[in-house]
A and B are shown apart, each in its own frame.
Chain A
Amino acid sequence: MRVCVLYSGGKDSNLALLKAWEALEVACLVTLTPRSEECYLFHYPNTHLVELQAEALGLPLISEPSPDDEEGCLRALRRALSRAVEEHGVGGVVTGAVRSVYQASRFQRVCWELGLWCFNPLWLRDELSLLREVVSLGFEVIFTRVAGYPLKKDLLGRRLDERVIEYLEGVRRYVSPSGEGGEYETLVLDMPLFRKRLRVIECEAVGEDYDATLIIRRAELVGK
Chain B
Amino acid sequence: MILVVSTCRLPLSEEEFVRPVVEVLRGRGLRCEVRSYRERLDFGAYSKVVICGTALMDFDYLNYLDSFEALLDYDGGVLGICAGYQILALLFGERLEETLKIGVYRVRVVRPNPLTREGEFDAYFLHSYAVTEVSGRVEPLAVQGGEVCMFKVLGRELYATSFHPEVQNCDIIEKFALLE
B32 to chain A, nearest CB (A): 16
Question: Residue-by-residue, is B98-137 near A (CB-CB < 8 Å gives 1, otherwise 0)?
Answer: 0010111000000000000000000010101000000000
**Residues A121 and B15 in contact, CB atoms below 8 Å apart:** yes
Total A-B pairs, Cβ < 8 A = 65
> Which of these binds chain A: B39-47, B52-60, B141-149?
B52-60
Residues of chain B within 8 A of A124, CB atoms compared: 16, 19-20, 23, 166-167
- One of B16, B23, B57, B167 near A121 (C-beta < 8 A): B16
Interface 1/0s, chain B 52-76, versus A by CB < 8 A? Answer: 0001111000000000000000000
Chain B's interface size range is 20 to 34
Contact of A112 among B13, B15, B16, B102 (CB under 8 A): B102
**A116 interface residue, CB < 8 Å from B?**
yes
Main SS class of interface, A: mixed
Count of chain A residues with Cβ under 8 Å from any Cβ of B? 24
Contact B104 A101 (CB under 8 A): yes
Chain B: CB-nearest residue to A1 = B10
Complex interface: chain A residues within 8 A of B93 (CB): none
Evaluate contact between A123 and B12: CB separation under 8 angstroms.
no
Q: Does A35 contact B (CB under 8 A)?
A: no
Q: Are A109 and B102 in contact (CB under 8 A)?
A: yes
Pairwise interchain contact A112-B10, C-beta atoms closer than 8 A:
no
Interface residues of A in 87-120 (CB under 8 A from B): 92, 94, 101, 105, 108-109, 111-112, 115-120
Interface residues of chain A, those whose CB is within 8 Å of chain B, are 1, 19-20, 23-24, 92, 94, 101, 105, 108-109, 111-112, 115-124, 126
